[in-house]
Amino acid sequence: MHIRYGYDIALELAQPATILAMADVHSDFRDDIVEETELKVAPVVAVERYIDDIGNVVRRLSAPAGQVSLRLQGVFRTHGRKDEVDTVAAAVAASDLPPDALPFLRASRYCETDLLSDFAWANFGAISGGWARVQAICDFVNQRLRFSYPEARPTRTARDALAEGVGVCRDFTHLAVALCRCLNIPARYCNGYLGDIGVPPDPAPMDFNAWFEAFIGGRWFTFDARHNQPRIGRILIARGRDAGDIPMITTFGPHALARFVVVTEEIKECADAA
């Protein structure tokens, strides 16, 4: 299966500013790119590309005041199967976790494990099995939060989402990640492309999506508290402790969003001519 992906983002800069863009396909999946344009920046400026310490691709550029646009598109090859499920995957004791999983047990900006620990153990501590616990958390978050774009705000934390009962995909993900960490299950925040493949089309404009990965059964598995079902065609962009680690766009100076277009869609194969 091939998926077309891309974005067209424009910012209005009040003054010259350096920009960090973290919107490329993750380094772990670059080999699955069939074709991709160069990042097109207008006005034309030099762009530096580097990979951070957990494999996220970052672009750095300095732009003049006024409008600056970033455009990229490509085609990604995927196996066309849903997220892998292993209902017998067990939790791994903290003493046996690989060192690179340990940072994803800690509290972070949007995932306040210290404030949610008692709630997590009271509600999920009696559930045995790693997969069963994570899935119970996803079920709870999916039912507890009401999805609402108009009520989104960038400062909402996991604890806020639990109290307010509303959020967007990043809030669903932050709450699920925090609850997993409270139960000693490493969980890392992910963002990327997720089109309406194998599910009814969503009439809302396409956007980037957030989900998470939990370390159980000796490996990382994908979970999605917002959609709460295995999906086809995820394209990972970045991983981090939470959204604060992996913002799509960071500007070192004030800006306003002038245009935001995201594309992710299956490329339908043409039937052979008779």
Residue range 223-264, pLDDT digits in tens: 999 999 999 999 999 999 999 999 999 999 999 999 999 999
Question: 7 with 122, same domain?
Answer: no
Q: Please name the residue ranges forming H helices in 125-230.
A: 130-144, 158-164, 169-182
Q: Is residue 19 part of a domain?
A: yes
Confidence of residue 270 (pLDDT cuts 50, 70, 90): low
Higher pLDDT, 269 or 210: 210
Residue count of the chain: 274
CB 197 within 8 A of CB 232: yes
Question: 107 with 222, same domain?
Answer: yes
| pTM, entire model | 0.95
Q: Which of 203, 180, 225, 218 is nearest to 92 (CA)?
A: 218
Tokens of 54: 């957990």
Question: 134 with 214, same domain?
Answer: yes
CA distance 59 to 249: 10
Higher pLDDT, 134 or 202: 134
Q: Which domain holds residue 13?
A: 2-79+248-266
Tokens of 3: 């998926």
Residue 271 clears pLDDT 70, i.e. is over it? no
Q: How far is CA 178 from the centre of its chain?
A: 15
Q: Is residue 86 part of a domain?
A: no
Instruction: Look at the alpha carbons of 97, 103, 109, 113 in this order and tell me if their dihedral is positive or negative.
Output: positive
Q: Is residue 52 part of a domain?
A: yes
